[in-house]
Amino acid sequence: MSKISSPSDDVTSPLPPEEGIAVVELADELQIRKQTVFKVMKRLGIQGVKRSEYDRRGQMISVIRKIDADAIRDDLRRTATGIRDGNSSAGDTRYFSEDSGVFYVVQLEPAHDPGRIKVGFTTDIDGRPRHHRCSAPFAQCVKIWPCHRTWERAAIDCVTTGVEQLHTEVFRVGSVQVVIDRADKFFGVMPVIPGTPEGDSADDEVAVNDSV
């Protein structure tokens, strides 16, 4: 049996792993903070299962049913449409005001293919590298920078100019350090995001492997 947890109360109910999605993963997909997802869950009366995740070192995280995740996506889509069309309230716009997170550079296979990297934005830097390790078990987050969600596209274009694109946010580069230097320059001229740390590696110390 799994423990069900909502923002206001706890009950008990099972939820098979294949039927659930982690709240942090849904937040990352929607590029909003997980706290925002919890707010929408509370408004829609959705409860989440507290479950221990192997790829998060046994940490207990909140998981919701996929059908509930679809309901949250639909609700936020309607809200976004209302904001765009000018038919929104102050309560609607607050869901999209919490858009700060980090921009990351991840080496997917540092030892065997050091030039294959993934870059992008996330609101969950603790969970994002572990998410990559599901398909790339040796993935290593090299460096992060405080970032607004709206800066992501410009940041990606800046750091990947002239390099080979393998997938949506996956590239092959000749030097990871060049990408880091470009990101340092890009974020060096962007406004400071209050309450965020200076850019640093996601781990205590990460050596960039540029050897081919």
pLDDT-derived band of residue 189, with 50, 70 and 90 as boundaries? very high
Highest mean pLDDT among 7-16, 28-37, 83-92, 175-184 belongs to 175-184
- Distance from C-alpha of 22 to C-alpha of 175, rounded to nearest angstrom: 34
Q: Across the chain, what does the average pLDDT equal?
A: 76
Q: What is the pTM of this model?
A: 0.54
pLDDT in tens, 126-136: 655 555 445 56
Length reported for the chain? 212
